[in-house]
Amino acid sequence: MKITIVGAGAMGSRFGYMLKKANHQVELVDTWEPHVKIIQEKGLLVSQDDKNIQVFIPAYFPQEVKNIPELIILFTKSMALESTLQSVKNILGPETKVLCLLNGLGHLEVLEKYISRKNIFMGVTLWTAGLLGPGHVNLTGTGSLEIENIDPLETKEGKLIVEALNKADLNCTLSTNVTESIWKKACVNGALNGTCTLLECNIKEFGGLEGSGTLIREIIKEFREVGKVHRVNLNVENIAQEIEGIYSPEKAGDHYPSMYQDLIQNHRLTEIDYINGYVAKEGKTHNIPTPYNSFLTLLIHSKEQLLVK
């Protein structure tokens, strides 16, 4: 399949590498100059299991890319989604399918402004990746993803995408309720990302705090109330217990959430407006109180002002 990855950072590079290895025709698109130039000149360096592999994948800046693909996989950060879609309008053909795998909430509203519903596929992934520098991606662990066609008539196309992704061992399934899965993952991120970032601790340290059980339940309760407006049913206790199950170092305990990495380590803006901030915004619109999510969002934005230059 002709697949273009738009947003070829950590996750885009991982997917690009795995899809290329499975003989798909892959192109990478990104705005980060040193990253794109290194991939163009030397290929993408992939580190995995103490091995380094150099992979040659065509890489472009958005203004350069010309080929209209069968599938676009979006992997920018949430706050860049709208400008990204504007910058790649020229490769959105009438039959080009677009799969959005960004974390967070509210992306469908943005996608629908640029893409017809029949071509939109939403997904959520448990794969992870990290960048070690421009042109250099580090891969650990395994993962999975679920995707779903937004238009119920497009199930056949959904199956074809699943098949193409599984050719690359991406462990993909066709979901019948991806919205709920996206919200559940947003709850996990909403409970851990902002809190660990503000407290400057890893997941295990957060889990060891006396008040963490109460805190995550209060945050998730607000997701549940706002989720009802979007016809999403969330079980607070099940999600809280799922989160508490990853506090041990054998699971994700030693991990610092991506928001911590973005803001504390790299002084970059965060995706807070698409996680807790989305719940706060929707709560305001629909008269649902969201004190925990609103306060978290405000504090993260305050910390961004202090740290992002």
> Does 32 contact ligand NAD by CB under 6 A?
yes
Cα separation, 48 vs 130, in Å, equals: 11
Interacting stretch for ligand NAD, rule CB under 6 A, among 108-116, 128-136, 162-170, 210-218?
128-136
At its nearest, how many Å lie between ligand NAD and the CB of residue 213? 25
If phi over 0 gives left and psi between -120 and 50 gives alpha, with beta otherwise, what is residue 308? Answer: beta
When binding is defined by CB under 6 A, the residue of 3, 4, 5, 9 that contacts ligand NAD is 9
263-302 residues near ligand NAD, rule: CB under 6 A: 271
Q: Which helix (H) or strand (E) element contains residue 147?
A: strand 145-149
- Binding residue for ligand NAD, selected from 1, 3, 5, 11, defined by CB under 6 A: 11
CA distances from 115 to 24, 54, 98, 173, 212 (A): 23, 34, 8, 23, 41
152 token code pair = 């119920």
Q: Starting at the earlier edge strand, list the strands of the sheet with 2-6.
A: 59-60, 25-29, 2-6, 71-74, 97-100, 120-125, 145-149, 172-174
Q: Is 149 in the site for ligand NAD (CB under 6 A)?
A: no
154/185 with CB nearer ligand NAD? 185
Please provide the distance, in angstroms rounded to a whole number, between the alpha carbons at the two ends of the chain: 41
> CB of residue 31 vs ligand NAD: minimum separation in angstroms?
4
Task: Indicate the residue whose CB is closest to ligand NAD.
Answer: 9
54, 83, 90, 233: residue in contact with ligand NAD (rule CB under 6 A): 83
Among 26, 39, 46, 102, binds ligand NAD (CB under 6 A): 102
Cβ proximity to ligand NAD, 23 vs 83, nearer residue: 83
Return the H-helix or E-strand segment holding 203: helix 203-207
Window 51 to 80, contacts with ligand NAD (CB under 6 A): 62, 75-78, 80
Q: Are the C-beta atoms of residues 185 and 240 closer than 8 Å to each other?
A: no
Interacting positions 203-262 with ligand NAD (CB under 6 A): 258
Pick from 4, 40, 119, 125: which binds ligand NAD (CB under 6 A)?
125
The Cα–Cα gap between 255 and 196 comes to 10
Rule CB under 6 A: say whether 131 interacts with ligand NAD: yes
Minimum separation from the CB atom of position 78 to ligand NAD (A): 5
Stretch that binds ligand NAD, among 30-38, 52-60, 161-169, 239-247 (CB under 6 A): 30-38
| Residues, the chain | 309
In which residue are the tokens 């002002």 written? 305
User: Using CA atoms, how far apart are residues 233 and 258, in angstroms rounded to an integer?
Assistant: 26
Q: Is 129 in the site for ligand NAD (CB under 6 A)?
A: yes
Q: Does 110 bind ligand NAD (CB under 6 A)?
A: no
- Please state, as a whole number, how many other Cβ atoms lie within 10 Å of the Cβ of residue 224: 17
List residues with catalytic annotation. Answer: 185
Enumerate binding residues for ligand NAD (CB under 6 A).
6-12, 29-32, 35, 62, 75-78, 80, 83-84, 87, 102-103, 125, 128-129, 131, 258, 271
